[in-house]
Amino acid sequence: MSPPKNVIVVLLDSLNRHMVGAYGGTEFETPNIDRLAARSVRFTRHHTGSLPCMPARHDILVGALDFLWRPWGSIEVWEDAITFSLRHAGVTSMLVSDHPHLFETGGENYHTDFNAWHYSRGHEGDPWRTCPDPSFVGAPTQPARRFMHYDHSRTWFRDEDDYPGPQTMRRAAEWLRESHRQHDRFFLFVDEFDPHEPFDTPERWFAKYEDDWDELRIIWPPYVVGAIERGILTERQARHIRNNYGAKLSMIDHHLGRLLDTVDELDLWDDTVFVLCTDHGHYLGEHDTFGKPGSPVHSALGHTPLLVAWPGVAPRTSDALTTAVDIHATIADVFGVTPEHQVHGRSLAPVVTGDVDGVRDHLLTGVWGTWVHVVDRDTVYGRAPDGTNEPLVMWSNRWSTMPVHQFPQLRMPRPDRRATLDFFGDVPVIRQPFAPGDPIPFWALGARPDEHVLWDIAEDPGETVNLAGQDAVREKAALDLLRAALEEVDAPKEQYERLGVG
């Protein structure tokens, strides 16, 4: 078997594993994801690492867990994106994306080491237009909870191909046709923001799952725990939002088919690895939760799909435990590059080829300043702050590229005179502490002290019974594993104290 020459990674943002046909989903149609799964190794125990959007991309493109050190930001001075190594190895890299966060404060240097990149404009908060289309030919506006740039952008979409997701898939397919023979080896990263909200689609997709909705469409889901119980949504509204997500999912699945058709047409399966993944899921009523609010990471959010089509490897299912940083390690392995900075991933190449059954027996996942979860084959243990959420500390040398000014609602404070220099390896790093009463980064506001969770996912896959405080033996074993996992990645020392695992 000849080693692969190229890699294509398609990241579909907020892709719910349990709604994909290849993973048993029957609620919505995903024929093209299922088509890819039919020729892939289908991983059934893939989990998130750092959450949410940009931290997850940091895991995949940089290969180092992000959430234990900081909430959201650019590539740090002590590390490089995989594309830096590929450039120096003579591998051509191309980014095709409609993901606004890659081009906003806090994410803007992830694309810079690609040889080239294409940005399809107009999704979510992308500041693409300053006013609605005065001709009113495009899609009508849909007011958000607060103004979003999408309110203007969507009025400029004259037909389905103008929507950012279809644009992105079309451009990725065009790049393959135009360029793949011009490069000895290539890495194509398609960072597709659908099916992320706004859950807005042309009529043919909206009508696919919704036939009796006669009110203004709800395309911006709330981010809330207890949505129905607290009266924030009615059951009908909740179902409507879920259907709108399904419409977005089926639409982007349809346009993913364009890219798969192109790979077929160009006979790339014989020398190209094709990976389909996501950054995380999206709650759509599971546990009466919507969006990605401050709460422990349930499987609907953190147990995610991963499909890997590998030249010469027959399709099958793998129950190997895997996480986001392993995708980075696999790309590095295919191209024979070794990052210079500390990484936390394990290459999945030997799992895919069948040489080994697995490469890890546990992983870490979570959101900065909230719960830290350790996952093994049987359990998920989420450790909340022990008492008050302190010491809360952020490590970063790129404060100027954190979302400080552009998104004031995220409450990202500036560093102050309490900051000290610590070391990440041999690199001095700004270490900023936060004290009670400080304005703190938005992401940590959802932490609920002492609300630990322990789920037996082998016996209770729906995570309905919290064993924390109920099964002392298993909880101690989970706590010991969490402590060992933190030591394994050289986690900041304040995490041990904040979580009470010292």
CATH number at residue 27: 3.40.720.10
| Pair 106, 132 in one domain | yes
The residue out of 360, 382, 413 marking a domain boundary is 360
Closest C-alpha among 113, 59, 102, 4 to residue 306: 59
Q: Burial, 470: exposed, middle or buried (Cβ in 10 Å; 0-12, 13-18, 19+)?
A: exposed
Q: What's the one-letter identity of residue 66?
A: D
How far is residue 502's CA from residue 196's CA, in Å, rounded to a whole number?
A: 38
**Which pLDDT belongs to residue 136?**
73
Residue 44 lies in a domain: yes
pTM exceeding the 0.75 threshold for the entire prediction: yes
In a domain, 223, yes or no: yes
Tell me whether residue 112 is in a domain. Answer: yes
Residue 149 Ramachandran class (φ > 0 left, ψ -120 to 50 alpha, else beta)? alpha
Are 10 and 35 contained in the same domain? yes
The pLDDT of residue 142 = 64
Each residue's pLDDT tens digit, 125-163? 999 999 989 887 777 666 556 788 998 999 999 999 999
Q: Are residues 330 and 417 in the same domain?
A: no
Looking at residue 296, its pLDDT comes to 96
Chain segment 13-55, per-residue pLDDT in tens: 999 999 999 999 999 999 999 999 999 999 999 999 999 999 9
Same domain, yes or no, for 395 and 352?
A: no
Residue with tokens 């909880």, as numbered in its chain: 475
The domain boundary, picked from 360, 380, 409, lies at 360
- Residue 346 domain flag: yes
In this structure, the answer to whether residues 450 and 354 fall within a common structural domain is no
Both 210 and 264 in a single domain?
yes
What is the rounded distance in angstroms from the CA atom of residue 332 to the CA atom of residue 82? 7
The number of domains in the chain is 2
Spatial neighbors of 134 by CB under 8 A, at least 6 apart, are none
One domain for residues 432 and 345? no
- Domain limit, last residue, from 325, 360, 395: 360
User: Is 1 inside a domain boundary?
Assistant: no
The residue range of the domain holding 86 is 6-360
Query: Same domain for 419 and 321?
Result: no
Asked if 146 and 224 sit in the same domain, the reply is yes
- Given a cut of 50, the residues of the chain with pLDDT beneath it are none
